[in-house]
Amino acid sequence: MAQLNKPSIKCPSCGFDNILGQDRCELCLHSLMQTGLPQPKRGDHIQTAIMKDPVSELLTGKDLLVCSPEDTIQKVVRILQKENKSCILAYDHKKLVGIISSRDLLLRVAGKYKDLAKVKVKEIMTRNPEYVTEDAAIAFVVNRMAMGGCRHVPVLASDGTPYSIVIIKDVLSYLSRKSKSS
């Protein structure tokens, strides 16, 4: 408990009264250095959804395709065409190591290779892609897309297991549903 007669600050995470000026909450160790974080406007359901709803609200699992870095680009292209998908995650020993999107195929493969059966995923994939966890706010995944210049953001469990891939269409569909239900 904060000392008597000393100014205090409540931890935004647990509500514990800490001595003003502390870097972290004495009880739960959350940072007390994050001041002035943006908050959604009262009554703005869309802004509230973006800033507070978790990415898990967007997940369907339907977009999830996984390949090996050793698979051929020919195989990946056939699967993407068959499944009508635009992205595939590359996993090696249960660890995300890369991602290949249709844009990667256009920019890095089209017209450069004669035999796609001889080109491995590891040669083309974007290594160590940006990702989010299922508990991250929707704003976080939108930020990853904007700042990272990526159109597909994998959503992973804390152990690295893939849940889904979020695209901006998922975000917009969710926000559209939220605005209609408000």
Per residue in 61-106, pLDDT tens? 677 999 999 999 999 999 999 999 999 999 999 999 999 999 999 9
Q: Contacts by 11-20 with C-beta closer than 8 Å and gap 24+? A: none
Q: Are strands 132-133 and 126-127 parallel, antiparallel or unpaired?
A: unpaired
pLDDT, position 16: 86
pLDDT, position 35: 59
Q: Mean pLDDT across the chain, nearest whole number?
A: 87
* Distance of alpha carbon 43 from alpha carbon 81, whole angstroms: 43
pLDDT, position 57: 92
**By the 8 A CB rule, do 58 and 166 touch?**
yes
Out of 36-50, 71-85, 107-121, 162-176, pick the least confident.
Answer: 36-50
Task: Identify which has the larger pLDDT, 67 or 158.
Answer: 67
> Of 125, 127, 133, 69, nearest to 101 (Cα)?
125
107-118 tens-digit pLDDT: 999 999 999 999
List, in order of start, the domains of the chain with CATH numbers: 1-37 (no CATH), 55-181 (3.10.580.10)
Report the 10 Å Cβ neighbour count for 62.
10
Give the range with max mean pLDDT: 16-30, 39-53, 115-129, 167-181: 115-129
